[in-house]
Structure 1
Amino acid sequence: MNLSRPFAVLAFIAAIAGFVPAPARAESGEPGCRPEMASYRLPIQRVQLAKDEVRLTFVGHATFLIETPGGVKAATDYNDYVRPPVTPDIATMNKAHSTHNSRSPDPAIKQVLPGWSTSGQGAAKHDVTLGDVRVRNVPTNIRTYDGGTDYDGNSIFVFEIGDLCIAHLGHLHHPLEPGHLRALGRVDILLFPVDGSYTLDQEGMLEVLKAVQARVMIPMHFFGGGTLNRFLARTQELWPVELREQPVITLSKATLPAKPTMIVLPGH
């Protein structure tokens, strides 16, 4: 499904309204960002991935389930409210709100990677390999509630799987500097927030997308159709947009679009 006009996005959101339930009120400072756990009707049956494929499932908010050909499962911004239907092997987390981290991660998770230094000293530093996936982080800053700066309170997590490089921006609050871009390296698939207020404003996020130049760009953290629609209306002259009917997508290096493309998965 391709986007030809902004109102097509609203039609798409309306079509999937029965798929995603309304979120509960948040205590984290973000409006309506605590959907009930396991409230997403995600497919349980899984087809085996080819050796060069990666499967992404948009669980909701800022959480994606990333699955590798070797069977490793990683969950981004793992938290106590929105969780994938399976226990991940790797869980990345960010500091900004309680819907981006967990106080009680499942003890069966092999690697729990907070995007901030739990000691309060400096930045988090992660570079771990589990099976066929390498996960590393690029620290960024976040705003505090009193208008200050929490240095290195967020991390962009990078997942290297075969020939693919996936980056999850987390709760990004500021434009990326040249040092961030060098640390990221080539990004094939970018998972990025579009709310425009609790994270980086939408104009700033557009500049981030232009700088990263990922072949696949998947929005998240948009709280509803109105915010998503406003963002996509600003992008339609820049990149083609594909609206998918399922929250699951399988990608490989060979199947990446020829030019940067926005792919919207149902959820919020």
Structure 2
Amino acid sequence: MRGFCCLLWLILCATALQAQERRASHCIALAGATPGLEYLHQAGWQDPVARDSVQIRYIAHASFLLRTEGGLNVVTDFTGFTGAAPLIPDVVTMNHAHETHWTAHPDPAIPHVLEGWAASGAGAEHHLDLGEMLIRNVPTDIRNMFGGVEKRGNSIFVFEAAGLCIGHLGHLHHVPTPEQYAALGRLDVVMAAVDGGITLPLDQMLEVLGRLRSSVIIPMHWFSDASLQRFLARIGPEFDVVNEGNSALTVSLRGLPGRPTIHVLQPKYLAEEE
């Protein structure tokens, strides 16, 4: 009987550990996407996330809420405001090119505040393993207000969860170097600024997206429908475009599209009643 109880205890422990493990991603492997398209649109941002999936919700400008099956909440380019809902994210990432990408006073209740720059100029280095999600960064340079260059002043953040590699290019000001591309690896999903000038000119952003070959591209940092449509008109026939008026989508590794797809999301602040 005692042996049986010990065996049962070991099984329960193994099950608990397995529930917290992160499904291995293929960021550094140049793997092709699985044919087929499967997006699951959820009614509210507080609803449970489907198994082996990540929900991506566009909040505003360059801020997105990433949610996992296990309940992790991560906000990108956090400005201190996500809407009327009383959300305390588990992690926030920030870039400081402009005030619309960071806050100097994040809520001290947020467990992990990841700044995409370092005061020393050496660049930030993040490798935060939360079990269900790994968050890392690749520093890039930005232009400063005086027309010069702030070395390693921006970060491309990469979120590895549910077997997916999700990248947020931040306030990207230059085409990544070969070393930076190698550090990024294969991004299944990428959030890219498409303003066409404040970050990268459209020609250069299209070059970056062509090099990344991500399965899903989510435009961000567009200031009007005109700038968004200008990007969509330039993207080229090799990309499909999905624009259903939603603010969120749920992505899974097995549901990635066979062709690179631009998925337009409409920004929407979080509401308590959702």
Q: Same fold (TM over 0.5)?
A: yes
Equivalent position of 1:170 in the other structure: 170
SS at match of 1:136: strand
Q: Is 2:108 the partner of 1:107?
A: yes
Q: Is 2:79 the partner of 1:88?
A: no
* CA shift for structure 1 position 267: 2.6
Equivalent position of 1:254 in the other structure: 254
How many equivalent residue pairs? Answer: 226
Under a length normalisation based on structure 2, what TM-score does the superposition of the two structures give? 0.79
Name which one, 1 or 2, has greater alpha-carbon Rg.
2
* CA shift for structure 1 position 237: 2.0
* CA shift for structure 1 position 262: 0.5
Matches of residues 46-195 of structure 1 in structure 2 within 5 Å?
A: 46-81=46-81, 85=85, 86-117=87-118, 119-195=119-195
Is this contact kept in 2: 1:157–1:167, CA < 8 A? yes
Q: Which has the higher contact order (CA 8 A, sep 6+)?
A: 2
Between the aligned partners of 1:238 and 1:146, the Cα distance in structure 2 is 39
Between the aligned partners of 1:98 and 1:56, the Cα distance in structure 2 is 23
Percentage identity across paired residues of the two chains: 43
Equivalent position of 1:200 in the other structure: 200
Moved more, 104-113 or 210-219: 104-113
CA spacing shift, 1:84–1:43, aligned 2, 3 Å = farther
Under a length normalisation based on structure 1, what TM-score does the superposition of the two structures give? 0.80
Equivalent position of 1:231 in the other structure: 231
Between the aligned partners of 1:183 and 1:77, the Cα distance in structure 2 is 20
* CA shift for structure 1 position 259: 1.4
| Consecutive aligned runs of 4 or more in structure 1 exceeding 6 Å deviation | none
Between the aligned partners of 2:45 and 2:192, the Cα distance in structure 1 is 27
Between the aligned partners of 2:90 and 2:65, the Cα distance in structure 1 is 10
SS at match of 2:227: helix
Computed over aligned residues only, the root mean square deviation of the Cα atoms, in angstroms, reads 1.7
Is this contact kept in 1: 2:80–2:107, CA < 8 A? no
Between the aligned partners of 1:83 and 1:182, the Cα distance in structure 2 is 36
Between the aligned partners of 2:101 and 2:46, the Cα distance in structure 1 is 26
Between the aligned partners of 1:196 and 1:136, the Cα distance in structure 2 is 26
CA spacing shift, 1:219–1:72, aligned 2, 3 Å = same
Equivalent position of 2:8 in the other structure: none
SS at match of 2:114: strand
Unaligned stretches of 5+ residues in structure 1: 1-41
Is this contact kept in 2: 1:168–1:192, CA < 8 A? yes
* CA shift for structure 1 position 84: 8.1
**Structure 1 residues 19-75: Cα deviation after superposition (integer angstroms, max 9, x where no partner):** xxxxxxxxxxxxxxxxxxxxxxx9656332233110000001000000011110100
Between the aligned partners of 1:81 and 1:71, the Cα distance in structure 2 is 20
**Structure 1 residues 110-144: Cα deviation after superposition (integer angstroms, max 9, x where no partner):** 11000001x32401000001240100000000001
Between the aligned partners of 2:126 and 2:83, the Cα distance in structure 1 is 22
SS at match of 1:254: helix
| 1:142 maps to amino acid | I
SS at match of 2:255: coil
